Chains A and B, each alone.
Chain A
Amino acid sequence: MQETQVEQISSATPNSHLKMGLLRISKRNRPPYWMMFPALLLLIIIVVAPFFVGFYTSFTKLDQYTIANWTHAPFVGWKNYINAFTQGNALGASALQSVVVSIEFSVLTTIGITPIGIIAALLVNKPFRGQRWVRAMFLIPYVMPVFVNAITWRLLFMNGWGLIDRVLSALHLASKNTFWLIGPHSFWAMVIADIWSSWPFVYLMVLAGLQGISDDLYESANMDGASPFRSFFSITLPCLRPVLGLALLLSTLNHFNNFTLPFIMFGTPPAPQADVLPLNVYVTSFQTFNFGLGSAMSLITLVLMMIPAFFYIRKLRLGEES
């Protein structure tokens, strides 16, 4: 009995030493997860906690009568979500109308800024005298505070005496009294102002992407007799696809969430045609004190935003597998 035990111990000893050694190595090599704690804590405080508070609020009738004791606001189930989709709004657009306005706004501005950004990046990609200055100048609309940008465009679009109306009238393209800040034109005024201020984002991304394309590819194509046009479509665009994909996704999300520009350009209440969802959520929550409905509308925004993000992440993963 004792012999068997000794045998077991002697035979087990080298293995267990090996295991202990491996354990020590693996412990040493294990990523220090605890170092993520501060980041996780911040994430919980800044993102997770407000999200759950918003989620909870969206199921309550939180208004001016209950704000001081918000944890006891009456529970109303899905009513706020139903109201968001069914209720009209005497104030501006309904939530559903605002979703449509926001989608149209984000898609159109993204479509607008993409070619401008690509062309601008291609223009300043090759070295030329004053290249740095031009590159810096292209960034001016992007670095200009949104507030200044919105006020400037508001003044430009004022009817009667605004520069846009004066120029259009001088060119016999429109009446001097065309309204841009109310009515259907307000949507286009918002799109134009946003395109002006945000195209450098695509320009920056594309310019960064262009730096990563090897000159060898263009040289080979040139030797094979490819025209610059052909090189652009067969080399530049395919190489830019990942960068451009990310730029378009981020641009769509940014424009969908644009609050400051319409808020400053039109004030509250905005024309229903320019009543984007973030502005509608703000007015509903903070001006008419309907925090429950505002929270429900915010969560609907979140779900809508997840759709393009989901497809993009899925596409990235497919890329990794291949």
Chain B
Amino acid sequence: MNKKKALAKRGLVSVIGISLSSTMLLAGCGGSQASSSGSNGGSSSGGKDITLTLYEGKYTSNPQAQEDLFNNTLIPEFEKENPGFHIKFTIWGTASEENSTIQTSLATKQGPDIFELGTTFIPTAFSTNGFHVLSQQDWDAIGGQKKFFPGQLTMSGPSPDKYIGVPEYMQPFAMVYNKKLFAAAGITTPPTSWTEFVDDAKKMTNSSKDQWGTVFDPSDSFDPWKIGWGFTKQMGGDFLSKDLKSATLDSQESVNGLQFWFDWLTKYHIVSPNDLTYKSVDADKAFLNGHIGMLIMRSSTMMPALNKSAVKDDYAFAPMPTIPNGMKSMPTVGVPTQTIVSGQDFAIPNYVTGDRYQAALKFLKFLTDVKQQQEFFQTYGYLPVNLDTYQNDPSLNTDVIKAFVDAEKNATAIPFSGAWGNLEVVYGGVASKVANEIATNSYKDGDIATLLKAANTQVQSSLQQ
């Protein structure tokens, strides 16, 4: 019997041994894509050819323009200026794809050399300890921190000495509204409080014509938390405690915030019941078709689509209201949050070292310099993060752009917690469940509080103590 056990144990050990050896073999075969090879005298890469892989998010409105910009303009320019450096441009299509690549790259210590990361993902990325914390020397190589919008840097790391993210572009949010529907309803100025917002939306709603004061998208993965967090902050609450050790999703402010959003349908009837299944793209489409009076939490990246839509001559942007519903002024504890600090950053994973790391810093300097930032803006409508870009460029000094730049100055940073990515997804789950209940007539008072309480427990378990 013992002999049998010993044999079985030996067998198991052998299998695990073979498996692990194979995994290592596999890792070895995959190797690092680091291709620092050959000699190329006189190159700025120190005599070596260095190929860097940049992993960018897909510009869904016009992917071809993005590819053209990188492959025909930016990369050739950089490679010409820096002989011996080569850039490979790869893209991710969805946040899920981006997440999976980051996770596998960090676990296997191989993958892209430069990641484009959303500012709200930076806290999670920081918590992995898988990305380079930039030293003063590194910032000097990029062009110094002073080159960037200060607000944008607040999401680069927990403190200035621990930044991992290099701002790429910013995406402050505002409200886009339909001037034609405003005029028809006799509304002269955009609302500054949520009470006014609801009143204006009621004036524009005409369900028989499928015309609605506003639109919401509770089935989206990310819009719910952005909107819910904004309402919560304006009322003086937050989703996490100041020391980042406790989840406060079940606070009264948080419950009231989400409740107010769903009240748009259940109490004020200013959105279509069909919106319950909407994702961000569906809400955009409804506005672009001219059926919606106001659409909140949208950035300048929507402008190319707006300019080709049925409302191309009738849209305008305005800051989102900041005074909570039912109040005449901000509560003393409230924060006048117009937008979150939003946009995209670059980050370099720890497995990129030596000459490759220096090459990556050089490329980041290139991408954040004035000329390239202008090219980003002209191609995508992304707002530059380089302060100097706004000097002497008329296209960046229009009223619309100024409104977004002002919004950026009043942007509020989210709590810098590694569990924020998890929190976003869980909050989206709560919004989806509430929408589910309303759609099936099983929604009752108190459900939002109950669901947020369950979400709070789940988020609490993912906080680093």
Contacts and interface: CB of A to CB of B under 8 A. Distances in A.
Contacts of B426: 90-91, 288
Given A88-B454, A283-B425, A289-B124, A65 B418 contact: yes
Contact of B428 (A269, A271, A289): A269
Interface stretch (B259-267, B270-278, B335-343): B270-278
Interface string A254-289: 000000000000011111100000000011001111
Nearest to B420: A64
Nearest to B435: A182
30 contacts: A48-B18, A49-B20, A49-B22, A49-B23, A52-B19, A63-B462, A64-B124, A64-B127, A65-B127, A65-B418, A67-B128, A68-B107, A90-B426, A90-B458, A91-B426, A158-B274, A159-B273, A179-B277, A179-B440, A182-B277, A269-B221, A269-B428, A269-B429, A272-B436, A286-B100, A287-B422, A287-B425, A288-B462, A289-B422, A290-B422
A70 B106 CA distance: 9
A183 interface: yes
A277 B18 CA distance: 30
A291 B128 CA distance: 13
Main secondary structure on chain A at its contact with chain B? loop
A179 B425 contact: no
B277 A269 contact: no
A123 interface: no
B464 interface: yes
A289 B127 CA distance: 12
Interface string B382-426: 000000000000000000000000000000000000110110011
B129 A68 contact: yes
A44 interface: yes
B39 interface: no
Contact of A91 (B18, B100, B418, B458): B458
Contacts of A272: 433, 436
A288 to B, nearest CB: 5
Interface of A: 41, 44-45, 48-49, 51-53, 63-65, 67-70, 88-92, 158-161, 177, 179, 181-184, 267-272, 282-283, 286-291
Given A68-B350, A158-B274, 4 more contacts: A45-B22, A48-B15, A160-B274, A288-B421
A101 to B, nearest CB: 14
A53 B23 CA distance: 9
B425 A91 contact: yes
A181 B107 CA distance: 35
Among A41, A91, A177, A270, residue most surrounded by chain B Cβ atoms (within 10 Å): A91
B362 interface: no
Contacts of B103: 67, 286, 289, 291
B421 A64 contact: yes
A290 B462 contact: yes
A267 B279 contact: yes
Contacts of A288: 421-422, 425-426, 462
A279 B273 CA distance: 27
A183 B106 CA distance: 37
Nearest to A165: B274
Interface in B411-465: 418-419, 421-422, 425-426, 428-430, 432-433, 435-436, 439-440, 451, 454-455, 457-458, 462, 464
B333 to A, nearest CB: 27
B25 interface: yes
A287 B100 CA distance: 9
Nearest to A51: B19
Nearest to B432: A269
Nearest to A44: B22
Contacts of B100: 286
B443 to A, nearest CB: 11
Contacts of B221: 267-269
Interface in B56-89: none
A268 B425 contact: yes
Interface in B330-356: 350
B188 interface: no
A290 B436 CA distance: 25
B8 interface: no
Contacts of B228: none
Residue of B20, B432, B435 with most partner-chain A CB within 10 A: B432
- Residue from A44, A282, A288 with most neighbouring chain B CB atoms (10 Å): A288
Contact of B429 (A49, A51, A64, A91): A91
Contacts of A45: 22-23, 25-26
B430 A158 contact: no
Contacts of A268: 96, 221, 425, 428
B219 interface: yes
A68 B126 CA distance: 11
B366 to A, nearest CB: 27
A67 B425 contact: no
A269 B20 CA distance: 35
B118 interface: no
Contact of A49 (B19, B219, B279, B428): B19
Interface string B14-38: 0110111011011000000000000
B277 A90 contact: no
A182 B443 CA distance: 13
A130 to B, nearest CB: 41
A80 to B, nearest CB: 12
A65 B128 contact: yes
Contacts of A92: 429, 432
A286 B96 contact: yes
Nearest to A283: B425
In this complex, the member of A159, A177, A181, A183 whose beta carbon has the largest number of chain B beta carbons within 10 angstroms is A183
A182 B219 contact: yes
A49 B425 contact: no
Nearest to A50: B23
B280 to A, nearest CB: 10
Contact of A159 (B25, B127, B129, B274): B274
B15 A287 contact: no
Contact of B219 (A65, A67, A267, A282): A267
Given A65-B464, A182-B277, A271 B436 contact: yes
B135 interface: no
Contact of B276 (A70, A90, A182, A287): A182
Contacts of B422: 64, 287-290
Contacts of A179: 276-277, 439-440
